[in-house]
Amino acid sequence: MDCANCGVCCTGWRVRLNALEQMTTAEQFKDGQFLKMVGNRCIFLDPQTMRCTNYDQRPDTCKRFTLGGDACRSRRREAGMETEQEAA
């Protein structure tokens, strides 16, 4: 499984910020307790590269999203991106 050009983990759902992240994240990137969305994607997802522009300082919620985990595979299936090899 490869993250390259995927981005499904950064679309279609809102990233909740923990208390520390809420205090340290600049207002222009927040929507209350969440990161702002641009359309259906996280404000930090570059739509050209499908990469996080804030990867080194991404929220804990993002850090816990496991590549190849159940949530990842479910999102990839919903987006029609899971290959037969990944589904096996």
Measure the CA–CA gap between 10 and 23, rounded to whole angstroms. 22
Structure tokens at 15: 């990233």
Q: What is the pTM of this model?
A: 0.80
Phi, psi for 4 (deg, rounded to 5): -55, 130
Residue-range domain boundaries for the chain: 8-81
pLDDT tens-digit map of 8-42: 889 988 999 999 999 999 999 999 999 999 999 99
> What is the spatial distance between Cα 24 and Cα 58, in angstroms, rounded to a whole number?
12
Residues 6+ apart with CB under 8 A from 52: 10, 42, 44, 45, 46, 58, 62
Whether the CB-CB separation of 82 and 69 falls below 8 Å is answered with no
